[in-house]
Structure 1
Amino acid sequence: MKNRVVVTGLGVCAPNGVGLGTFRESLVQAKSGITHYEDLQKLKFSCQVAGKPNINTVNLNEYFSKVQLRGLDSSGLIYGVLAGVDAWKDAQLVKSNDTNPDWDSGIVFGTGILGVDKFRDSIYKLDKGDVRRLGSTSVIQTMASGISAYLGGILGLGNQVTTNSSACTTGTEAILMGFERIQSGKAKRMLVGSCSDSGPYVWGGFDAMRILPRKFNETPDKASRPMSATAAGFVPGSGAGALVLESLESALARGVKIYAEVLGGAINSGGQRAGGSMTAPNNAAVQRCIQEAIANAGIDAEAIDAINGHLTATTKDTTEIENWCQALNRRGDEFPYVNSFKSHFGHCLAAAGSIESVAAVLQLEQHQLFANLNCEDVHPDILKLVSNDKIPRETLNFPAKIIAKASFGFGDVNACLILSKYQDSL
């Protein structure tokens, strides 16, 4: 018998809200977290709007020791620790004692690029011959696994502690990796999620590719327009999302709140073949990933009530909807409700899947589907596939039982997660 896996803790550090309560309220009220940044304007970015968590009011002493705070200059690492520690507390879990680690709990926490600002500072010091001034934290703040190492040490976890990286698919992949470890009985609890650095050194490459919107610098809250006919590219974002996954047996024994159940999912790659490339998906692989996720979850395609898509506000949005139609064999009025949270806070890159998964879980908990912002003018090719009323423009009261959440990343990599309202018996 495979273990059932449930979500018992949530944490988030997002452009539209730092902390679960603020994040939830912003989603319900359809409040955008995308703003204009003067530093992008000074650097002559074509796109000068972005999504960046506001951590100015956060007391970092509640998350880091004084030693850890010395020279701390990695935004992604900070976001990840805030979200991860908050999720652990939300699950009513505590740090293990100073003698023994918690052997039953582990971490899969992903990132794309970590510590860009710290790395830049280190390069300048090295170029000046000031190697001794690098300090003792430059390595751990710039290595990819720095985020899982920090969280593992702060919480004292003794099961697998690792970092994954698969571009925009990272966060959703991390959830599935943790899910599989618990399902197989190798761990009781896994802290899963992902984080992404903020700032021009992360976003500059995308601006150079000319895939970011350039006409909304005066109206930043209108810039991210998934599924819209006037979509002009994705808005870059940053932050972190975290979930505590736990075996149902452990959660029931502890008597804690259960937000949702992870029924299953799938991960694959299109191999950059048959139309797939470094930046474009192999459509057959996307459809296969969705179908394998449904089979792994043990449900029928008709059972999916809502989709939280990858949907980045690019020309690929219509293609993604077509892939969902093909994979589910559902169109028009039969198509599930569909939304994209990138309209609320931009495309958070490696953190996208985890932040959006936190929001997807909140939809199940709240009996609501959150709005698609800036989608008054749905792309006409999408309306040929999906009924207009299946694309919510405002928060909709709807008791969804099963939500599919997908991420599709650079490198032609895919992940699809099936989340369910928790039921005592299945």
Structure 2
Amino acid sequence: MAEKRVVITGMGVVAPNATNLPDFNDAIRNGRCGITHHQELADLNFGCQVAGQPEVTDEILQQYFSPLELRGLNSSGIFYGTIAGTDAWKDAGLSFSEKENPDWDSGIIFGTGILGVDKFREAIQLIDAGKTRRLGSTSVLQTMASGLSAFLGGKLGCGNQVTTNSSACTTGTEAVLMGYDRIKSGKAKRMLVGSCNDHGPYVWGGFDAMRILPHNFNDDPTSASRPMSATATGFVPGSGAGALVLEEYESAKERGAKIYAEVLGGAVNSGGQRGGGSMTAANNTGVQRCIKEAIGNSGISAGKIDVINGHLTATTRDATEIVNWKTALGSGKDNFPYINSLKGMTGHCLSAAGSIECVASVLQLKNKFIFGNINCDDLHPDIQAIISPERVPIKTKEQPFNILAKASFGFGDVNAVVVFKKTVEK
């Protein structure tokens, strides 16, 4: 059986700087930052008291959840993921299956890192107090890793594979590649893919304890996340969700769906926490192999990549990431692709980062712009030494391009790279 082409026909996003797709497109194009000060973190004596948290109001929630559902749900990750996933499905022009039989051709892979942490806390308090019966009927849904994919599967009536994945910061990008593989092999016609992450001190506290978050921008939150900057002092934690509908090209063409971009291919691997790799640092050889394999699997040459949307978290690893890209691509200082990081505007949304950043990457391809790297007007000298500063745009560049490579590198020395191409001709 011939391998299928895979395209993107719908997207949804809930990010710290916007909670719907049109606003998100406007936010990244104009460099709008969604990082704010959180008094709760200050009251709990966090060193880093700023974070990226989506502004999801009660009015927004009422558009996606029934009053009964809202009484039982207490999981920010499920809220974010349901909104992003539902919006992506609608954006693709797909209907909710009300038939007795499910849609056997459609599936879901929606990943997470931590889901239902506030519900866990509530459950522990009730159980310890001997009040287990007060847990409610949704406690399992909200605290199992596949809770969101199961919830969306029921709402949308999907009858193909409905599952989750979890691989730290690579989760969302990995989910895209898992859905791509399923469609490419002919096992599904369309897959809703994405990832989400809860917000709050119980999610972010461990990172604060590791002292890898910035402590010196509590009074200036929009300046705190500084990928590739000489004054970067750590990543700002964030949360949210991103979602994409992947579809077999022929199916999309047959139903007249709009097409945002094509997924050419990608790769996932691990550095094995060897050769300089560890739980928190990547094996550089593993990263370079992942990039090269993604390019090879996409059927292109390294020189065809116009833009890189990097992982680039505003730590000491930023320069190393660019060295790995330069080595893998075999590029010179002046012909390196344009490179940007969304995290200056959103912070690091952890397991939601990859999917939110994939949405941002595809919007750039579709709408012909390369968003700027805010807070990077003092490019780190180690980066200036290896690539031309003009390849790290500070302001948005309004220009079309053809191919973008998006990377995510996560805790546990795990890597994922996906390659997107601008809209194919119908």
TM-score normalised according to structure 1 size? 0.99
Matches within 5 A, 1:331-342: 331-342=332-343
Matches within 5 A, 1:124-139: 124-139=125-140
1:187 equivalent in structure 2: 188
How far the C-alpha of 1:424 sits from its partner, in A, is 2.5
How far the C-alpha of 1:95 sits from its partner, in A, is 0.6
2:328 equivalent in structure 1: 327
The C-alpha deviation readout for 1:306-334, integer Å capped at 9, x for no partner, is 00000000000010000000000013111
Residue 396 of structure 1 aligns to a residue in which SS?
A: coil
Unpaired runs of 5+ in structure 2? none
What's the % identity of the aligned pairs?
65
2:414 equivalent in structure 1: 413
Q: Which moved more, 1:250-259 or 1:51-60?
A: 51-60
Tell me whether 1:175 sits opposite 2:176 in the alignment.
yes
Residue 196 of structure 2 aligns to a residue in which SS?
A: strand
Residue 59 of structure 1 aligns to a residue in which SS?
A: helix
Distance 1:68 1:98 in 2: 22
The C-alpha deviation readout for 1:100-147, integer Å capped at 9, x for no partner, is 100000000000010000110010011110001001101110100001
Tell me whether 1:353 sits opposite 2:351 in the alignment.
no
What residue identity is the alignment partner of 1:288?
R
Distance 2:302 2:397 in 1: 22
Distance 1:345 1:59 in 2: 20
Distance 1:232 1:220 in 2: 13
Distance 2:150 2:63 in 1: 18
How far the C-alpha of 1:177 sits from its partner, in A, is 0.1
How far the C-alpha of 1:68 sits from its partner, in A, is 2.2
How far the C-alpha of 1:59 sits from its partner, in A, is 3.0
What residue identity is the alignment partner of 2:206?
G
2:237–2:349 CA contact under 8 A, matched in 1? yes
2:312 equivalent in structure 1: 311
1:156 equivalent in structure 2: 157
Residue 172 of structure 1 aligns to a residue in which SS?
A: helix
How far the C-alpha of 1:67 sits from its partner, in A, is 3.1
1:144 equivalent in structure 2: 145
Tell me whether 1:82 sits opposite 2:83 in the alignment.
yes
Distance 2:331 2:160 in 1: 41
1:294 equivalent in structure 2: 295
Distance 2:276 2:263 in 1: 31
Distance 2:423 2:267 in 1: 20
1:275 equivalent in structure 2: 276
TM-score normalised according to structure 2 size? 0.99
What residue identity is the alignment partner of 2:272?
G
Matches within 5 A, 1:14-413: 14-56=15-57, 58-413=59-414
Distance 2:178 2:333 in 1: 34
The C-alpha deviation readout for 1:5-40, integer Å capped at 9, x for no partner, is 000001000000000011111111111000000000
Residue 72 of structure 2 aligns to a residue in which SS?
A: coil
Distance 2:266 2:190 in 1: 18
The C-alpha deviation readout for 1:38-73, integer Å capped at 9, x for no partner, is 000000100000000000154323322333222210
Residue 404 of structure 1 aligns to a residue in which SS?
A: strand
Distance 2:398 2:134 in 1: 56
Residue 238 of structure 2 aligns to a residue in which SS?
A: coil
2:273–2:279 CA contact under 8 A, matched in 1? yes
What residue identity is the alignment partner of 1:71?
G
- Following TM superposition, the consecutive aligned residue runs of length 4 or more in structure 1 with deviations greater than 3 angstroms are none
2:33–2:345 CA contact under 8 A, matched in 1? yes
How far the C-alpha of 1:398 sits from its partner, in A, is 1.8
Residue 3 of structure 2 aligns to a residue in which SS?
A: coil
What residue identity is the alignment partner of 2:274?
R
How far the C-alpha of 1:385 sits from its partner, in A, is 1.0
What residue identity is the alignment partner of 2:299?
G
How far the C-alpha of 1:352 sits from its partner, in A, is 0.2
Residue 245 of structure 1 aligns to a residue in which SS?
A: strand
Alignment coverage as a number of residue pairs: 425
The C-alpha deviation readout for 1:345-402, integer Å capped at 9, x for no partner, is 0000000000000000000011000010100110101011110100010110121100
What residue identity is the alignment partner of 1:326?
T
Distance 2:219 2:362 in 1: 33
2:366–2:423 CA contact under 8 A, matched in 1? no
Distance 1:31 1:59 in 2: 21
Residue 136 of structure 1 aligns to a residue in which SS?
A: coil
Residue 354 of structure 1 aligns to a residue in which SS?
A: helix
